[in-house]
Amino acid sequence: MLRGTKIGLRARHEDDIPILRTELYDDVVNAARAESGPWRPIRPGSKDQRLDADGEDPEIVQFSVVELEGDTLVGTAALWGIDSHNRSAHIGLGLLPSSRGKGYGTDVVATLCHYGFVVFGLRRLQIETLADNTAMLRSAERNGFVREGVLRSSAWVMGEFLDEVLLGLLVQEWKQDSKAWKA
């Protein structure tokens, strides 16, 4: 497990899946804002690629996010769109509604930066988020991400087009906090 100051990133356990499905992906509005496509219902018990990480896709590494105190599941995180040639990837995360507003997002981003830059050897990480997602923007910027642009009207969400903000962080800009993670 990778440890931040408040959270840990670990492999997805089978008993995480029903919780993540119910609290994140079965919430139509949340899923529509987090996914790059329209929400679709998934039959209970069926394999859901968003959740059932088998580790075989070289372009994505998925984690479950747990509180360090108590090992309670608080969300999901991923490095996705991993490009081993250009040594870059995207960061994504989703916190359960009861876990939002507690500083976990900033810690997840920091821990994913450590994983991407130190463990994976990447040179660039980027985040795309809806322009009104102030929690993600704040978490990214607290970790040194720089706003690189706005993708105007690029996301179709629940009947309207919304802007997305593109943020990037290069390894040489990253300020690793050695106390913020432990392998």
pLDDT of 44 reads: 73
Structure-token pair, residue 114: 């450590």
Q: Is the pLDDT score of 85 beyond 90?
A: yes
pLDDT higher than threshold 70 for residue 122: yes
Rounded to an integer, the average pLDDT of 143-171 is: 97
Of all residues in the chain, the percent with pLDDT exceeding 70 is: 92
Residue 34 pLDDT: 86
Predicted TM-score of the model (pTM): 0.91
Please report the pLDDT score of residue 100 as a whole number: 95
- Least confident residue range of 101-105, 106-110, 124-128, 177-181: 177-181
Mean pLDDT of the 89-96 span: 97
pLDDT, residue 40, reads 80
Looking at residue 179, what is its pLDDT?
47
Per-residue model confidence (pLDDT) at position 51 = 67
Kindly report the average pLDDT of the chain as a whole number. 91
